[in-house]
Amino acid sequence: MAQPLADELIALLEPLAEQHGLELWTVEVAGGARHRIVRVYLDREGGIDIDTIAAANLWLSDALDSVERLAGPYTLEVSSPGIDRALRTREHFERFAGRRAVLHTSTPIDGRSRLTGTIEGLDGDDVILQVDGTEYRVRFESIERARLKTDFAGVGERSGDTR
């Protein structure tokens, strides 16, 4: 079975990002064969700025142009992973323990393939997720995709505001 294109690009770009002092957070590929969109999410301690993104465009373009499966037109989008960032690696789950996330699994757990809860951490091959007072052990390999979930409830509210 062929390796998904996004995984191939991650394998290619991850060491290059490290050479530039960046962390390759993830890569997404969208669109059809006639015109693909390649989204590359980069980060580093303290975040990244527009100058870093502009510089990364150059070396990313050079690297992507060497990928045979990307022959033809494509659009490269480079950005920060943002506050609702995807979680791709075990280290991502460890780093964001205590934060809320949405996990989509390949196999349902208690009849659910979408779980929203607080990441408690990792235990061996399991991500521990607290969902409404129940602890779920989710096999890392069964996670199809995961994202942090930002709760904006109460943001902007001022105490004592009577308007």
pTM: predicted TM-score of the whole model, two decimal places: 0.81
Mean pLDDT of the chain: 91
Dihedral sign for Cα 136, 137, 141, 146, please: positive
- Confidence at residue 25, expressed as pLDDT on a 0 to 100 scale: 96
158 is a domain residue: no
Q: Domain range spanning residue 107?
A: 90-148
Q: Which residues pair with 102 in a beta bridge?
A: 116, 147
Q: Rounded CA gap, 71 and 56, in Å?
A: 20
Dihedral sign for Cα 160, 154, 119, 23, please: negative
Q: What is the pLDDT of residues 34-63, one digit of tens each?
A: 889 999 999 999 999 999 999 999 999 999
Q: What are the distances in angstroms from CA 23 to CA 8, 13, 121, 140?
A: 16, 10, 21, 21
Bridge-based pairing state of the strands 36-43 and 74-79: parallel
- Confidence at residue 144, expressed as pLDDT on a 0 to 100 scale: 94
- Confidence at residue 120, expressed as pLDDT on a 0 to 100 scale: 97
85 is a domain residue: no
Q: What CATH number has the domain bearing residue 130?
A: 2.30.30.180
Question: Among the three residues 79, 105, 140, which one is the final residue of a domain in this structure?
Answer: 79
Q: What CATH number has the domain bearing residue 49?
A: 3.30.300.20
Token pair in block for residue 160: 């004592």
Question: Among the three residues 32, 56, 79, which one is the final residue of a domain in this structure?
Answer: 79
118 is a domain residue: yes
Listed as ranges, residues in the chain with pLDDT below 50 are 1, 161-163
Residues near 93 by Cβ (< 8 Å), separated by ≥ 6? 87, 119, 121, 122, 127, 140, 146
Instruction: Report the share of the chain in percent with pLDDT over 90.
Output: 82
Residues 30, 37 contacting (CB under 8 angstroms):
yes
Token pair in block for residue 21: 């002092």
Number of domains forming the structure of the chain: 2
59 is a domain residue: yes
47 is a domain residue: yes
Question: Among the three residues 57, 79, 101, which one is the final residue of a domain in this structure?
Answer: 79
10 is a domain residue: yes
Q: DSSP readout, 2-24?
A: PPPHHHHHHHHHHHHHHHTT-EE
157 is a domain residue: no
Residues 55, 44 contacting (CB under 8 angstroms):
no
